[in-house]
Chain A
Amino acid sequence: MYHNNHCEGFQCEQRMLEASLGEEGGELGVLDRLVAWMRQRSLFVLAYGTGCGAIEMRPLMTSRFDAERFGIIGAATPRQADVLVISGYLAVKTLKRVIRSYEQMQEPKYVIALGSCAINGGMYWDSYNTIKQVDHYIPVDMYVTGCMPRPEALIEGFAALQEKIKRGEPGGFQRYRENIDWYKGNQRRVLGDNMPPDYTYDWYHAGGTA
């Protein structure tokens, strides 16, 4: 794909990431497909304004970009949210709050990581107190690249997430549930004794959907 001449560099990567998005979800039943379709039409967003990327989230709700036409609205609390947007660099201290917010969200839930800081540390790659790869601590469903990404890019990310939900692909929350020990181990490595309380995730160990 890299040797094609219709795209170059990150465009090819983007295309590879999105290549599977257009396909029909053959494995879902009619009812499941209906449910998935309604789910993707209604995404309540918990905007976790951790870094400078947060600046680009506000215009989404304004008249100019109007994310509400895709069914995307801000949620008041984590309990009512479907999508957690981590906008930028995460300090170790903030990570704890993000984990708690994430664990309070009701399933199905999704995470969008916004900006290069959330992907690989970005310009804070050698900082002593920021998290380099958010994906090691909570499961990320969709990355939006850029430093900082334009609101259009974020809308594109949301649209891709909607495609993913519509096709009924397993979301990050399932990965979190299955690999809870790995995630908790990673979290413990950076947070040490300062872990969030057990009761926000102990039902994952119970195995049920509760």
Chain B
Amino acid sequence: MHVILDALAMIGLSYVMGFLFYGFYRQFSARVQRRWGPSIWQNFFDNMKFLLKSETLSHGPMFFFGPMIIAAGAITTVLFVPFLKDSDWLQGFSHSGNLILIVYLLVVGPLGNALAVGSSGNPFGVMGVTRGLTRLMGLEVPFFLGLALVMLQHETTSVHAIMAAQDGIAQWNLFTNPIAFMVILLPFIASQNASPFDVVGAPVEVYAGPRVEFGGRLLGVLMTQNMMMTIAKLVLVVDLFMGGATNIFILIAKAFSLFLLTAAISLAFPRLKTEQTVDFFWKVPLGLGVLGVVATVWFPWGA
């Protein structure tokens, strides 16, 4: 009973936080562009509207199962990321998983995407997926290197142990291992499809990319999972670098400050081309990551 309630609470919380954060992002970017912008609930309205629309298109069973696979991947990821530390609640199944499992789960999304878009056969969709996989090539290596740095530093793969090791603000990995944070930050922005690295869904270039064929309810499902996935990733970074959170308010505050940082970065920089993105990732974050590995292995200042 506890497990079921807990899982539902996590899913609900990540959804609510998801649409509020995205709503805030739209307000924020509107204010930067000197206009009023939509209300903070706008993403909720959009999502509900899509979930209540009809769906008359079909491109075979895979077209339907693709979004379901992606959504299942997102929900599982949410359930394996511990939201709170030292608490019985909002843990999901995180005690039976670890960071390596989460890394695997993060790849389920792009896989389901490729399957669904492949069966639709829309050239713009295929173009979007190609761009996405190329970008994935650039961002995965530094991202995993950053995670590996954290695991090396603490010599464990358990998210709980890493959280427990960061007691006070001085022990946050953000400060004890800033290189790893920097290595992760940019691929993290890219994995959220935010601005400098948003070639995949570029609206006027490839007409929403992988989502071009999805219209009614399936698009609603895709939007929902996207919001939940964003929160899962934010909470993961909060757990790994900012010492986790002991209650929901601290969690929201920390996740929000991280979100504010990424939002500010993505509002300040315009979109890069695909090859520029990959070039950038293979040079800056990857170079930093290699430096970080060398530093962590030979000069263990973190411990």
Contact = CB atoms under 8 A, between A and B. Distances in A.
A71, A82, A106, A203, most chain B CB atoms within 10 A: A106
Contacts of A79: 57, 212-216, 219
B45 A76 contact: no
Interface size bracket, B side = 20 to 34
A155 to B, nearest CB: 13
Given A66-B36, A79-B215, A107 B45 contact: no
Interface in A134-192: none
Contact of A41 (B35, B45, B56, B211): B45
Nearest to B29: A68
Nearest to B43: A42
A210 B56 contact: yes
B212 A63 contact: no
Contacts, number: 89
B30 A66 contact: yes
Interface string B37-70: 1110110111011001111110000000000000
A100 interface: no
B220 to A, nearest CB: 10
B57 A63 contact: no
Interface in B115-130: none
B212 A77 contact: yes
A107 B54 contact: yes
B18 to A, nearest CB: 16
A62 to B, nearest CB: 8
A77 B207 contact: yes
A63 B208 contact: no
A44 B53 CA distance: 12
A33 interface: no
Contacts of A69: 30, 35-39
Contacts of A68: 26, 30, 35, 37-38
A17 interface: no
Contact of A80 (B39, B42, B52, B214): B214
B256 to A, nearest CB: 22
Interface string B71-115: 000000000000000000000000000000000000000000000
Interface string A37-61: 0110110100000000000000000
B34 A63 contact: yes
Contacts of B216: 79, 106
Given A38-B48, A74-B203, A203-B56, A106 B215 contact: yes
A35 interface: yes
A41 B42 contact: yes
Given A39-B49, A63-B35, A82-B49, A71 B42 contact: yes
Contacts of B36: 66, 69
B203 A106 contact: no
Contact of A77 (B37, B41, B44, B208): B208
A42 B57 CA distance: 21
Contacts of A108: 53-54
Contacts of A82: 49
Given A63-B33, A63-B35, A71-B42, A80 B56 contact: no
Interface in A98-141: 104-108
A109 B262 CA distance: 35
B197 to A, nearest CB: 18
Given A79-B219, A210-B55, 9 more contacts: A35-B48, A41-B45, A66-B36, A69-B37, A71-B42, A79-B57, A79-B212, A79-B216, A104-B215
8 contacts: A63-B35, A69-B38, A76-B207, A77-B215, A79-B216, A80-B215, A106-B57, A106-B215
Interface of A: 35, 38-39, 41-42, 44, 63-64, 66, 68-71, 74, 76-77, 79-80, 82, 104-108, 203, 209-210
Interchain residue pairs A-B with the least CB separation, the first 6 = A79-B215, A76-B208, A66-B35, A106-B216, A42-B45, A63-B35
